[in-house]
């Protein structure tokens, strides 16, 4: 099993190209199920999760063609052979549940396994089920599979979400494009990935208003057509690489970065003593002082601080001047990286969903183990600031969300390599 070895103490300088968003691509790919005509995605990320979604769609009979070294994906579901999403594929990734809404919308039936993915707490499917049932779906859980049908098709409805779930918003948004009548999603998630999905669906012929707000209105149409759509910049990869020079020192420009994607994150960086400036090609980041300042962080739904940047931020605050408090309000069990950071000399106390981090002068390299995707990269970042060598094992999580991370960091001066056991 591969590991990544990081030797700290080297400042970073240069440019890092930010890929298309994993979470956007994983939502856009199932949108092909809504049309017989091809959907072409450009700026696609090259990740293991994309390969998993490709395998799932192919198991349904979707034709998926990768071009330009995987950066362009052409999908066509004109000759589908199945409406069953099998456990053996779905268990690998929670985003697999996003085939449920499109299958119900176009084929009026679906059998979808309950999903898997990182072990960072419950991501309940009942929000998806309740929302689709409001649109006329009949859904039953049997033997770990959701058996869903919509005799005569889905119908427009008022769909209030009890929580601003990104996945449920995406599932209902796609399903509503082919429903009869008007659907109004209330308490909708507002993430940039949802705005990106709406843009793509609109280019396919959907009638959608209000994406990016808490109320989205969709007027169903009879059919959707072909489209070509560029995947939005990955704001989590962007935030991750923006932190790299904060750990190691130096100055890094993140190509393709946009302030509107990371507004709340940049506010916290500014409070911690980090300069972020716009350039013609992205965002440039550097520390204002030799040591970052402590800052409190609470994760929230967009536009609040992203839960997917919490682990990276915690790692950065381990060497900040002062005491920081991080509160995780999106997922339980998302402080599993804390014990690994403690192995590197961090001073962290965790009580339920609250972690108190007292900054230390320096971390020390150590063998550590990744527990989930974002925890993986937080340990690599910590290694950039640590004294000596850090070996991060179980990095199969990492490849789900970051393409060629060691190459990108080496390109700005980091001493990092991937080694095989």
Catalytic, out of 118, 200, 254, 318: 118
Which stretches of 29-162 are DSSP H helices? 48-59, 87-90, 100-107, 126-134
If 0-12 CB within 10 Å is exposed, 13-18 middle and 19+ buried, where does residue 151 land? exposed
Question: At 282, phi and psi to the nearest 5?
Answer: 165, -135
Do you find a cis peptide bond into 303, omega within 30 degrees of 0? yes
Signed CA dihedral, 32, 260, 165, 337: sign only: positive
Torsion region of 419: left, alpha or beta (phi above 0 gives left; psi -120 to 50 gives alpha): beta
Which stretches of 71-124 are DSSP H helices? 87-90, 100-107
Angle at which helices 166-176 and 126-134 cross, to 10°? 30
Q: Which residues face 250 on adjacent strands?
A: 12
Tokens 């183990």, residue?
369
- Can you tell me whether residue 331 is helix, strand or coil? coil
Q: Is 23 annotated as a binding residue?
A: yes
- Between CA 375 and CA 397 the distance in angstroms is 9
**Residues shown for the chain:** 421
Tokens 């209330």, residue?
186
Q: Is 268 annotated as a binding residue?
A: no
Q: Is 71 annotated as a binding residue?
A: no
In sequence order, the 6+-apart residues with CB closer than 8 A to the CB of 137 are 104, 148, 149, 150, 154
As given in the structure block, the two tokens for residue 328 are: 């995780």
Give the neighbor-by-neighbor strand order of the sheet with 3-7: 367-369, 389-393, 3-7, 415-419
Q: Which of 344, 409, 393 is nearest to 5 (CA)?
A: 393
- For the chain, the maximum distance between any two Cα atoms, rounded to a whole number of angstroms, is 65
Q: Is 364 annotated as a binding residue?
A: no
Q: Which residues face 41 on adjacent strands?
A: 73, 229
- Can you tell me whether residue 215 is helix, strand or coil? strand
Q: Which residues face 228 on adjacent strands?
A: 40
As given in the structure block, the two tokens for residue 354 are: 């609250």
Q: Is 22 annotated as a binding residue?
A: yes
Specify whether 200 is catalytic: no
In sequence order, the 6+-apart residues with CB closer than 8 A to the CB of 339 are none
Binding residues: 22-23, 94, 308, 330
Binding residues for UDP-N-acetyl-alpha-D-glucosamine: 94, 308, 330
Binding residues for phosphoenolpyruvate: 22-23
Residue positions annotated with a catalytic role = 118
């Amino acid at each position: 099993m591969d590991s990544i070895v990081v030797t700290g103490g080297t400042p970073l300088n240069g440019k890092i190209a930010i890929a298309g968003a994993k979470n956007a691509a994983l939502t856009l790919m199932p949108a092909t199920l809504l049309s017989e005509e091809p959907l072409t995605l450009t700026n696609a990320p090259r990740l293991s999760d994309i390969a998993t979604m490709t395998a799932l769609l192919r198991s349904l009979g979707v034709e998926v063609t990768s071009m330009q070294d995987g950066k362009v994906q052409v999908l066509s579901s004109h000759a589908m052979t199945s409406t069953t999403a099998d456990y053996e594929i779905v268990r690998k990734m929670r985003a697999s549940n996003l085939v449920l809404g499109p299958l119900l919308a176009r084929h009026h039936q679906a059998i979808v396994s309950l999903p898997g993915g990182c072990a960072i707490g419950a991501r309940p499917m009942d929000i998806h089920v309740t929302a689709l049932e409001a649109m006329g779906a009949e859904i039953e859980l049997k033997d770990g599979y959701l058996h869903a049908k919509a005799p005569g098709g889905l119908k427009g409805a008022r769909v209030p979400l009890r929580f601003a779930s990104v996945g449920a918003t995406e599932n209902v948004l796609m399903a509503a494009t082919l429903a009869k009548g008007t659907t109004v999603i209330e308490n909708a998630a507002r993430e940039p990935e949802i705005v990106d999905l709406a843009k793509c669906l609109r280019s396919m012929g959907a009638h959608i208003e209000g994406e990016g707000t808490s109320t989205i209105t969709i007027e169903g149409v009879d059919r959707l057509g072909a489209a070509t759509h560029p995947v939005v910049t990955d704001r989590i990869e962007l935030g991750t690489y923006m932190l790299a020079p904060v750990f190691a020192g130096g100055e890094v420009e993140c190509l393709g970065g946009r302030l509107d994607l990371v507004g709340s994150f940049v506010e916290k960086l500014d409070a911690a003593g980090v300069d972020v400036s716009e350039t013609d090609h992205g965002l440039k980041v550097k520390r204002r002082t030799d040591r970052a300042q402590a800052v409190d962080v609470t994760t929230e739904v967009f536009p609040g601080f992203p839960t997917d940047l919490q682990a990276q931020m915690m790692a950065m605050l381990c060497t900040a001047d002062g005491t920081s408090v991080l509160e995780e309000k999106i997922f339980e069990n998302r402080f599993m990286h804390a014990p690994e950071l403690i192995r590197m000399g961090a001073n962290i106390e965790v009580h339920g969903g609250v972690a108190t981090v007292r900054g230390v002068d320096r971390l020390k390299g150590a063998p550590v183990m990744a527990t989930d995707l974002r925890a993986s990269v937080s340990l690599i970042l910590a290694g950039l600031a640590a004294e000596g060598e850090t070996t991060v094992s179980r990095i199969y999580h990492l490849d789900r969300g970051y393409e060629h991370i060691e190459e990108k960091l080496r390109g700005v001066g980091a001493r990092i390599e991937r080694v095989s056991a």
